[in-house]
Structure 1
Amino acid sequence: MSKDIRIKKGLNLNLVGAAEQTTTKSVSSNVYALYLDDFHGITPKMLVREGGEVKAGEPLFYNKGNEEMLFVSPVSGELVEIVRGARRRILTIKILADKEQQYLEHKTFDLSSAEAADIKKLLLVSGCWPFIKQRPYDVIANPDATPKAIFISGFSTSPLAADVDYQLKGKEKELQAAINALAKFTPGKIHVGVSNAQSSVFSGIEGVEKNMVSGPHPAGLVGTQINKINPINKGETVWTISPQDLVIIGELLLTGKFNAERTVALAGSCVKKPKYYTTKIGAEISTFLYASGVNDDNFRLINGDVLTGSTVKPDGYLGFYNTTVCAIPEGDDYELFGWNKPVFNKVSSTRALTFSWLNKNKKYNLDTNTNGEHRAFVVTGRYEEVFPLDIYPLQLLKACMVKDLDEMEQLGLYEVAPEDFSLTEFICISKQPHQKIIREGLDLLYQEIG
């Protein structure tokens, strides 16, 4: 039975520069790249050396922890560089793309009669398995585990986030194929959170339980929906997957080809013409950034949304999971006595000298300035006002900082991912790196308990 979930705790960040709903095909990138940091917890073992030729969908490396889990090239071409860091750790893999793309083809089969083991094997060898993540630990799903449910968030409430329905328009066939395949992996339900059941691209999809979710950010985060629909207890596992990744899986099942194409929202106040671009995973961001133009020389480019993304240079590459790229002003200037005068052009969760609460629909042109420095971690009660999960956020953060495994378990670390703390990090008056703290806590818990 579907649920009507209304999120009351949270905070919407209405920023200038949302992408207009027009789509342009980006210029083909000369070089494509995979960032190994995108695959958290994976120890790569290369299958192709520098100078080797690969097809689109051909394996580049495998996971040392599970040799069946392959990671593939988004395009055909020559592997021109393996960028390494300290202790020869692989950081980035770069492929010089062919002008005419060639695809590695896999065998297709009838999904209605296919066994779960056959579908799982195809997803592993085709490079599509990394799209499936699991909780606890927010890592690529363990193929040997059986999830109690699968969760998909069919909309996003993140600042400047892409419109999921617009991105997936016309992809209903691929979505249905992917849903039919994933249903064979769980004895439970596939839950899809939607903000509008009538206009959602998932309205005609069968085999899912649609849950109406309303309210401010983080209503669109899958972690919020898990907490309100089917919380995770110790020993349980759920899988999560994003809608655009479903499309890639569905196309593989229907055609036998790994098509790394994405519709990316280029947004932000520093972009002259923010809109959508059709590109591929790992493409050079400059291929579509400068097509829209930038109106400020001093800006920060973010690979992802403004709360959870990572800083990247214009000659950087689109992340494996990212569907949004944002350009906002760099906050490297400081206001004299900025803490001691009324503030009208910033968003705040408090009413002390700030007035964003008077007009909740107003759009702001925020920069990256943290408006303060790192300081003592104090108790304010502010986190609970924007944190809708049934978890004590401050206590969990401090348990992670002191590495108290028992407290981390009891306070609900199994249920969360770093992105669930992006909003508390934004409003934190102590300027603590909440997402980093949670990530380190999850890694410690995984290492000690598994």
Structure 2
Amino acid sequence: MSNDIHIKKGLDIKLKGAAEKTLEKAVLSNFYTLIPEDFHGVIPKLISKVGSKVKAGEPVFYDKSNESVKFVSPVAGEIIEIARGEKRRILSIKLQASSEQTYHDYGVFDFNAAKPEAIKAHLLAAGCWPFVKQRPYDVIANPDRTPKGIFISGYASAPLAADLDFTLQGKEAALQAAVTVLGKLTTGKVHVSVGVNSNSPLAGLSGIALHKVSGPHPSGNVGTLINKIDPVNKGEVVWTVAAQDLVIIGELLLTGKFNAERVVALVGSSVEKPRYFTTKIGSEIATIIYDHGIAKDAHVRIISGNVLSGIQIQPNGYLDYYSNTITVIPEGDDYEFFGWTKPVFNKISISRALTFSWLNPGKKYDLNTNTNGEHRAFVVTGGYEEVFPLDMYPLQILKSCLYKDLDEMELLGMYEVAPEDFALTEFVCVSKQPHQKIIRQGLDLMLKEIG
């Protein structure tokens, strides 16, 4: 039995360049890179050094503030470079893959009979713990805390996001193993959301509380699921796990191997033939984007993730630890002469002032990265509330983060939000304020001062 959740507030941004449901193997990458910045708040402490030979799944570094949280190599190979920044901060760890892949064997895990502490120890040792995040603060979960619930979103509503129904096909055994284990780590339930009309492999799992969601984006955000099912209050903790990361956890339990394989959607209007590829975490994105319809001199922006909450990467960059989408859209560094004085038909807006996207809600757009405006003080238009379905006040939360009022941040609900929950308010913001950055800084301040 499922519980239906229908979201009325939000905005579907329909873009050209959705991926066809065809799957190919990406060109094998010779080099893989681990980037500590992918793990917000982690201070890396190296286990291996340049010249070290590692197997796939073997620890490379750990978190200085919690030595039990280890980060492992996605492939077997040799560490050839450790890039450092100011104060010798580790920026990246580059590996050259071996021609023959070998895996560190953690052993098949009897998860049906295992106790919670044994499960945690196994996931920590094998490098799967970074896939488990917590709210408050949207950071890697503290293994010493017990969550009141675990939340998994199996429905991706963001623009051009990878279709999880497609990417999870055939992974039912691994998914079931993962949710069985996670169910033993919480005093509550494992809440899983799927699309109301989807055919998701997650829907048939046992030991979960299933929720069918519908409505515009951000109906697929895990933050929306948390807010509608079991909001986080002061002193409480919930954990979240991305749907595709469940597969890696489940395969570790069933085979004893850390398999960093990931199905990635290459999407965007600048891609000649958008489709899905099988690759590995940390691989060179050039092995995907330049062999499949994108000219090397193309004036585009490459985004690891979706257009709303992803991060910009360079053409010689690497797939980050958590993304399952690579989006390529035109770079928006051109400006329209008197563009604000004439009717606009080729852009999306929630306003009806000189914009007409509301007349054709099914139209798909070829948008670039231009913000169509400049940064200014907050203008109160009521637009945030139209696209923000969480039961809280978005403008007030943003302002409380800016003037660092911890008491007000607590009262307004900061314990349950993450930057991605404010991606749409940032998109519709006429003041061009960096909402996600503001929320991230607010969460970091709370973590530092309150813990």
* TM-score bracket relative to the smaller structure: over 0.9
Q: Deviations over 1:384-407 (max 9, x none)?
A: 000000110000000000001011
1:231 alignment partner in structure 2: 231
Moved more, 250-259 or 31-40: 31-40
Match of 2:46 in 1: 46
Corresponding residue of 2:161: 161
- Equivalence for 1:419: 420
* Counterparts in 2 of 1:404 and 1:37: CA distance versus 1, 3 Å: same
1:266 equivalent in structure 2 = 266
* Aligned residue identity for 1:317: Y
Cα separation, 2, equivalents of 1:371 and 1:220: 27
Q: Is 1:42–1:65's contact at 8 Å kept on the other side of the alignment?
A: yes
The answer for the alignment partner of 1:430 in structure 2 is 431
Please list the CA deviations of residues 354-398 of structure 1 after superposition, one character each: whole Å capped at 9, or x if unmatched. 111111111000000000111111211110000000110000000
2:108 aligned partner, one-letter code: T
AA matched with 2:375 = H
- The answer to whether the aligner puts 1:73 opposite 2:64 as a matched pair is no
> Aligned pair 1:172/2:196, yes or no?
no
SS where residue 181 of structure 2 aligns?
helix
1:135-174 deviation per Cα after TM superposition (whole angstroms, max 9, x unaligned): 0000000000000000000110000100001000000000
> Partners in 2 of 1:162 and 1:198 — Cα distance?
14
Q: Which residue identity does 2:13 align to in structure 1?
A: L
Letter in 2 for 1:308: S
1:277 is aligned to 277
Displacement, 1:206? 0.5
| Structure 2 partner of 1:351 | 352
Q: Secondary structure of 1:251's partner?
A: helix
How far apart are 1:54 and its partner, in Å?
Answer: 0.6
Note if contact 2:107-2:257 (Cα within 8 Å) is conserved in structure 1: no
Check if 1:383 corresponds to 2:390. Answer: no
Q: Say which SS state the counterpart of residue 377 (structure 1) adopts.
A: coil
2:332 maps to 331
- Amino acid paired to 1:434: H
| Matched residue SS, 1:95 | strand
Which residue of the partner structure matches residue 216 of structure 1?
Answer: 216
Match of 1:374 in 2: 375
> How much has 1:97 moved relative to structure 2?
0.5
The residue that corresponds to 1:33 in the other structure is 33
Unaligned runs of 5+ in 2: none
Is residue 3–residue 229 contact of structure 1 (8 Å, CA) maintained in 2? no
Query: Contact 1:197/1:210 (CA < 8 Å) preserved in 2?
Result: no
Post-superposition CA distance 1:163-201 (Å, at most 9, x none): 001000000000000011101101101001111366121
TM-score for both structures, normalised by structure 2: 0.98
With 195-204 and 66-75 compared, the bigger mean Cα shift is at 195-204
- Work out the number of aligned pairs and report it: 450
Task: Please name the residue that 1:109 is paired with.
Answer: 109
Name the aligned partner's letter for residue 206 of structure 1.
S
Please report the TM-score for the alignment, with normalisation by the length of structure 1: 0.99
Q: Which amino acid aligns with 1:311?
A: Q
Q: Secondary structure at 2:326's aligned position in 1?
A: strand
Q: CA deviation at 1:2?
A: 3.9
Q: Which amino acid aligns with 2:283?
A: A
Distance 2:202 2:3 in 1: 16
Partners of 1:101 and 1:136 lie apart in 2 by 38
Q: Distance in 2 between matches of 1:87 and 1:303?
A: 27
1:449 equivalenced with 2:450 (yes/no): yes
User: Structure 1 CA distance, aligned partners of 2:279 and 2:358?
Assistant: 38
Residue by residue over 1:184-238, the C-alpha shift from the partner in whole angstroms, topping out at 9 and shown as x without a partner, is 1011010011113661211211010111110000000000110001111111000
CA distance in 2, matches of 1:313, 1:89: 21
After TM superposition, list the pairs within 5 Å mapping 1:294-309 onto structure 2.
Answer: 294=294, 297-309=298-310
Q: C-alpha root-mean-square deviation of aligned residues, in Å?
A: 1.0
CA drift of 1:3 comes to 2.2
Distance in 1 (alpha carbons) for counterparts of 2:183 and 2:3 = 20
CA–CA distance in structure 1, aligned partners of residues 116 and 404 of structure 2:
39
Cα distance in 1 for residues equivalent to 2:20 and 2:241: 25
Amino acid at match of 1:175: L
| Secondary structure class of the residue paired with 1:266 | strand
Residue number in structure 2 paired with 1:139: 139
Q: Is contact 2:109–2:256 with CA below 8 Å preserved after alignment?
A: no
Please give the secondary structure, in 2, of the residue aligned with 1:371. Answer: coil
Q: Which letter maps to 2:263?
A: T
Letter in 2 for 1:384: E
Task: State the SS of the aligned residue for 1:291.
Answer: coil
Question: How many Å separate the matches in 2 of 1:59 and 1:197?
Answer: 41
CA distance in 2, matches of 1:197, 1:340: 42
Distance in 2 (alpha carbons) for counterparts of 1:2 and 1:226: 16
Which residue identity does 2:81 align to in structure 1? Answer: E
Q: Secondary structure of 1:61's match? A: strand
- 8 Å contact kept, 1:11–1:216: yes
Deviation at 1:297, TM superposition (A): 1.1
User: Are 1:70 and 1:127, in contact at CA under 8 Å, matched by a contact in 2?
Assistant: yes
Sort the Cα spacing of 1:198 and 1:394 in 2 relative to 1 into closer, same or farther, 3 A. closer
Q: Which amino acid aligns with 1:207?
A: G
One-letter amino acid matched to 2:278: T
Structure 1: which 5+ residue stretches go unaligned? none
Which amino acid counterpart does residue 308 of structure 2 have in structure 1?
L
Q: In 1, Cα distance between the equivalents of 2:110 and 2:445?
A: 42
